[in-house]
Structure 1
């Protein structure tokens, strides 16, 4: 469905310009280029259609309220860690990230409570400002069930499309896996009534300006499903198209799963790209640093 800006003087919000002469063609109004796709067009499930960063931060802060004081009380320990000589603490991996985090929470303490890496995701989605260490705009959001990872991905998708005016798509990997299997087993399942091939299913996703692949870890174990999804990521990597994946675990955990279908593909390049993704972990940003102190 074509939509226009409600205040547009040419189409009055219809998105189409009709000539008084019925013999002349109807044109799509230029104001439609300024509008991001709506939630339904993006493929957002009903549960996530109202997702945005403002609502997410509010929900997250409420969920973390009971542990906020205990986390903030440990900030002096982290400042002391930075102040100690290198020969005493050794090379501190991620030092720059810790410095930036402490600077941010001095201005607004909630930055220390937000999910680790989520501020970077929000800045990228809303302003396009983020330095990707490995070139490809790939995000990996991980955390346990009900941690908010899918909601955060949906918020990023909406913010990105609103900023750029381009489209995107939110895809359940579990549903996509079953649809791919139906393309192979149509005789048995009778689900593929449109007689779509795997190519028909994957090609539209390859060119999406932004693609969210939700619940990546719920991919079917059929190796042909894995091959199709690997091909999808290979194409998006080659075309440098931004992609967001959500899962319950970090990408390194796949290496330890012998029966994981991607492991059986033996695609080292794919694993290297996934390990190089920008991370968002659904725990307060201060928590991983405090855990490191306690392990020392």
Structure 2
């Protein structure tokens, strides 16, 4: 699933090509992709002949804001791709297409889990999961004090940092990488973290996400940026996907286990 760095990379690429552009027409090829409204004709009619004011991101959501105060809220889920081109392209799993005055915006999705929702600015509370998002981890709001206030209970620290109501946009890949950089065992009860470890974790989250954005995201199979290109961050991962390989810090074999139903890779010697 595209996580914060991948979605940020897509949004950065879309902004210069979409903002200020007129949407001439919309074609929907899979009705299930449109979660709101259920009336596809109404969906198309509301969008046609509108201008895109802004393209932004919140967590893993892409928010395309139109000049009629409507928002296209897009979640790529597992395999969604949002690709812009100034020429026609062929896609095997095309779910929707937006015809702009300067090109085409394609929503391609192999597994059909991705969603597009059209909501008025006063109705954004209707988008499940969107309005309950926690702070952006690269914002000034995300600090030691913020994280310390959110820590409650004994759930594993990995489950805690994956909670989207606590930290918006952090996913499985980068949770493993952040905990490795901070030398924290992902199974640790979150309420056992001391002040120094909380500081290390906040710093690690900011560093790992920032570097992943610089590397244009992580591509293992389906992720592509807004131009159809692949990310490069997979070449710099320290633990994710490396179970039973040598730890880059101590040289011992990395462990792999399930935490909260997610495969987790970590070093028993380095992460305490």
TM-score range for the pair, normalised by the shorter chain length: under 0.3
- Provide TM-score, normalisation by structure 2: 0.25
Q: Compare CA radii of gyration and give the structure with the larger one.
A: 1
Return the structure number with greater helix share.
1
